[in-house]
């Protein structure tokens, strides 16, 4: 599946199952034995990315202070990888999620919402910003990170600093 993630990261939804097979060094029939269609493969990649994201939020929720968990969640995660391109396509509505994917997305949103609500109740997160708005901000900044260059990493880090400064309530 790693070859498929890389290929979709490069070509987006234009990548074909033959291309995936070539990249993996398999016959196309082997790919089809594991994934009945290109859509099944895409759904599997998105599901895995959502599982990872949900597990990351759940781990961040274990911090004593929710704000620290949110900051760690975003800053400790490596810059977006090629698999995130499909996740961005999904969030943008260009890919329709299966029932299982939608269920996992709800689990992710619920976990993130709980973490943000806890940060709000601790007085560390602006009360007028929703979990969906937070996700949109993180996604927008992450779009900058398509090129893994030192200057890009610095820009992304600075943008997240600005976002966090705007989301955190007064530090007094």
Question: How many Cα atoms are found within 13 Å in the side-chain-facing hemisphere of 131?
Answer: 17
In the numeric block, which tokens belong to residue 123? 């007085």
**Domain annotation covers residue 53:** yes
Q: Do residues 46 and 97 lie in contact, with contact meaning Cβ atoms separated by under 8 Å?
A: yes
**Domain annotation covers residue 17:** no
Q: What is the pLDDT of residue 82?
A: 47
Residue 83 reports pLDDT greater than 60: no
Give residue-wise pLDDT tens across range 30-47. Answer: 999 999 999 999 999 999
Q: What is the pLDDT of residue 148?
A: 63
**Domain annotation covers residue 94:** yes
Cα–Cα distance, 33 to 132 (Å, whole number):
37
State whether residue 71 is helix, strand or coil.
Answer: helix
49-71 average pLDDT score:
93
Q: What's the alpha-carbon Rg for the chain, to the nearest Å?
A: 18
Q: What is the pLDDT of residue 74?
A: 85
Give residue-wise pLDDT tens across range 115-172. Answer: 999 999 999 999 999 998 998 888 788 777 666 677 777 888 888 899 999 999 876 5
Residue 85 reports pLDDT greater than 80: no
Instruction: Count the domains in the chain.
Output: 1
Q: Containing domain of residue 73, as a range?
A: 47-167
**Domain annotation covers residue 20:** no
**Domain annotation covers residue 102:** yes
Give residue-wise pLDDT tens across range 68-79. Answer: 999 998 876 655
**Domain annotation covers residue 15:** no
**Domain annotation covers residue 81:** yes
Q: What is the pLDDT of residue 138?
A: 84
Q: What is the CATH number of the domain that holds 106?
A: 1.10.357.10
**Domain annotation covers residue 92:** yes
């Amino acid at each position: 599946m790693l070859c498929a993630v890389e290929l979709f990261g490069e070509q987006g939804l234009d990548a074909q199952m033959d291309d995936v097979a070539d990249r993996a060094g398999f016959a196309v029939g082997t790919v089809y034995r594991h994934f009945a269609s290109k859509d099944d493969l895409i759904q599997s990649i998105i599901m895995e990315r959502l599982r990872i994201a949900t597990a990351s939020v759940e781990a961040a929720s274990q911090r004593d202070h929710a704000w620290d968990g949110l900051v760690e969640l975003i800053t400790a995660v490596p810059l977006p990888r090629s698999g995130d391109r499909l996740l961005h396509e999904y969030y943008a509505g260009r890919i329709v999620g299966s029932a299982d994917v939608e269920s996992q997305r709800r689990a992710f949103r619920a976990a993130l919402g709980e973490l943000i609500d806890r940060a709000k109740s601790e007085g560390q997160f602006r009360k007028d910003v929703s979990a969906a708005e937070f996700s949109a901000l993180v996604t927008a900044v992450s779009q900058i990170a398509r090129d893994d260059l030192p200057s890009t990493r610095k820009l992304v880090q600075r943008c997240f600093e600005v976002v966090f400064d705007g989301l955190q309530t007064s530090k007094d």
